[in-house]
Structures are given as C-alpha cells and as structure tokens.
Amino acid sequence: EQCGGDQDGWKVDSLDVVGTGHDTMRTAVVRWKATVAGSRRREGGKAKANIDQKESVSVVRRSQEEGGKVLSTRTKQPKANAASGPFLHVSKPLPRVLLLHTGGTLGMDPDISYNELEGEATHLKAGTGGHYKTGLQPGALLQDLLQVVPELRVFANMDVKVMFNKDSSRVGPKEWAQLAKELHKMRDVYDAFVVVHGTDTLPFTASALSLMLAGFGKPIVLTGSQLPLAMPRSDARQNLIDSLTCATARFAPPHVNFREVGVCFGGKLMRGNRSQKVHTNQYMAFDSPTYPSLATLGVEVEWNERFLLLQHGYSAYRPRFKLDPNVIRIPIVPGTDPRKAYGDLFGRGVHGVILEAFGVGNMDDRSSQGWIPWLRQQTKKGLSVYLTSQCTGGELHPELYKSGSVAMQMGVESGPQMTVECAVVKMMLCLAYPDLPLSQPIAGEL
C-alpha cells in the first residue's frame, strides 16, 4: 500500500504486483527522492534511508482445524534498505499455497520400508508395501520438505496439512470426499493447492477432485514420487518443485492462467482427469493418452496454453460431495458369457458398470454369447451402463455396429471417450446426482 505514490521520501519507479489476496508478493522498485528534507542522512557521502531494519525471520504458526494440525511457514520481509544505492526492492508477500499430504511413497521412511541392496535401498521389503507412520505431524513433514527442498520457499508461503497417511490403494470415495471438502473450505484462503499422493490410484483421485469441484477456479496439482524423498536418487524433489512451479504460474512471468486440477509428474503437467499411470518403476510414470500435456518442464517451462481449461470456459462453481461407490469395470473378453461370469449384478447391489468394448464400441452380438441378452436384463432392472473402449486413444462410434446400436437403444450411454479411471468416478458422481448426465462435460474430461 506504500507503493502507490510518494511516501516518506520514496517514489515508485516501477511496480510488478500480480495476483490477488493480502499475501500475494512481488517486487516494486522505488527510488529515493533526494529533495525531501529530513528523510535522509549522509554517511560517507552516500544517501541512506532512515528506516529500521530487521533480519528475515521464519515465523511458524500452528493451528487446529477440525482435528488436523496445520503448519504454516511465513517469512517476514526485511524493511527498506537504501544503503547500497539509490534503488530499493520492496517485497510483497508470496502466493499462499496449501500442501495436503495423503501418504504414498514420497513420505516413506526408506530405512524401515526398503531392503538394502549393494549399499542403496531400491526395493520395498516383500509383503509390506512400505511403512506408513501413524500420527504423522505436519511440523515434521514440512521440516523434512524444506530441509531437502529449500527451493520451495522461493515459490510460495506454504502451509502443510496431513489429511491422512495411507497407501494409495486404500484411498477411495470416502477419502476423495474428505479431500474435496477440505479444498472447498480453504478455497478462499489460498491461491493454489498441491496434493501429495501415492501413485497407484492418483489418476482416480485427480479425476474425482476435478469432477466434484468442477469450476473451482484455482490450481490443484497432484504429485508423488517413485522413491521416498529421503533417498538419494528420489524423484520427489523435482516433482515437488515442478508442481509448485505450475501451481503458482499465475504469479510469475509469463503469468500463465492455469486454474484446473492437474497431475505433475516426471517433467509433465497433465489434466488430472485425462491422466493414467503407464509405468510401474520409471520416473515418467504417467501419461495423458487422450489429451495433450498442459506443460513440459525442462530447462524451460513450455506451456500449451491453448489446451488449458480456461480457454474453453468454466462452468459455475458447484461443489458436489456425494458419490455412489457401487460401480465396477467390465472388460469384454472374447468367449466369456456375462450371464455366467457376472450374473445379476444389480440384484447384488451394483448400480453402475463401465463396459469396456472392442475398438470404437463393438462386442459380440450373438444371443448365444450373452452380452445383448444380459445387457437387456440388467438395464431393465435399473443398472446404469457406460460404454467405453479397451483402446487408449481414438473416438467412440458404437452406432457403427449392430451390437452398439442395440445397446444404445437399451439406454446404455456412450460419448467422447474418457479414461477408464475418470469414467468410473463420473459414474459414481452421476449416480449420486441423477440430474447430471454422464455425457455432459463439466471439467474437460470429455
């Protein structure tokens, strides 16, 4: 507020302030007005501002929020110092970022979780899946993060909250709703969000958050790692730096207006609901087979701005926290009779099926093979079916085949192809909100 004009002998020379909120920081260059009497003093022939100085200090604040502790790291900026010359850099607060920790490999203790092979631990101890510390506190987590990745302080004032600390195979609809509610609650408090997550089900969680919080309007970046942060060759450090780079892209040149749910991993930023895990142990473990990457992070950050969700418009923000988890995936296997393999799914409590057909939406249409009779019986009972493909790319056109046409006449839904992870989550959401059609895009998933 002191950079809007003349103030105590100083005048704004240039100003670069980006973003909104009282904690947003950029730098203003102000110059000393030597003509103002009494506001300077001479020492060795050089003008010096008569302003008190304090060293930058790290301020740590803890607060209790709904049973979860939050650790906040703030840096008080040093006051003005003109001793070195006629120009002064005045700092504004950095963007505020909330990091939500949910577990996964990134936070594991390698000494407990990994075997030691030839001096370097690289393989999980058999039968354990890794060790997840109970009662993990945000203070210890943030201390570890800032010790290994001190560069994080450059990008943002970062708060950390431990939502839970689990293997991602144990993260499902209950946890998705928990995360969505926390993000919704903190939407007006922070400028951006980073979610640390295990890799195995990360695309499911990314899809869930994008759909449940459609129109959220602020960056939510999910990331993780293939090796724990504490290991020498871990990819966690770079993934964290890249994720924070993307999450705060609006606040630094070239001021990219990224405001959606993304997955940042292995040097790529992908739309969350288009991402899939494609490799078990390589650092580039994720890909976006149905949509171009939003950014590539190397020596430079190369943004594909025309593919950002903002370019195609946002829906009004409407959070939806309910999900119906009674959904399964069924890949069509040649020769399998679904009447024997699956029987009366609806009668056993299954409400939705993602049916993975061949090619553009084809399946065996012979009555003896059972797919058409089985679909007719189950859809009449009330089973919701979404037809997708076993292919990872290309368009769906089930109407080109007899089996697909008949299925559509029964009420089976189809449309532009979603990833199977996203299709499962959207089916859960649409079952909980019957007014929301499966084929209606709400977060760039179609």
| 3-class SS of residue 75 | strand
* Interacting residues of 150 by C-beta distance below 8 A, sequence separation 6+: none
Q: Which regions of 199-246 does DSSP assign to beta strands (E)?
A: 220-223
Is 288 marked as a binding-site residue?
no
Distance CA 357, CA 363 (A): 6
245 is catalytic: no
Distance CA 81, CA 49 (A): 6
| Residue from 73, 102, 199, 223 carrying the catalytic annotation | 199
| Residue from 102, 105, 223, 245 carrying the catalytic annotation | 105
Is 199 marked as a binding-site residue?
yes
* CB-based contact 74:160 (threshold 8 Å): no
* CB-based contact 183:193 (threshold 8 Å): yes
Beta-ladder partners of 362: 358
CB-based burial label for 313 (10 Å; 0-12, 13-18, 19+): exposed
Distance CA 6, CA 16 (A): 17
Distance CA 330, CA 290 (A): 20
- If you ran DSSP here, which 8-state letter would residue 299 be given? S
Q: Which of 262, 150, 256 is nearest to 197 (CA)?
A: 262
For every residue of 240-273, which 3-state class applies, written as one string? HHHHHHHHCHHHCCCCCCCCCEEEEECCEEEEHH
| Residues found in the chain | 446
Q: Which regions of 125-168 does DSSP assign to beta strands (E)?
A: 157-166
How far the first Cα of the chain sits from its last, in Å, is 44
Q: Which of 424, 428, 427, 422 is nearest to 443 (CA)?
A: 422
105 is catalytic: yes
Enumerate the active-site residues.
105, 199
The annotated binding site for substrate is made up of 168, 199-200
The annotated binding site is made up of 168, 199-200
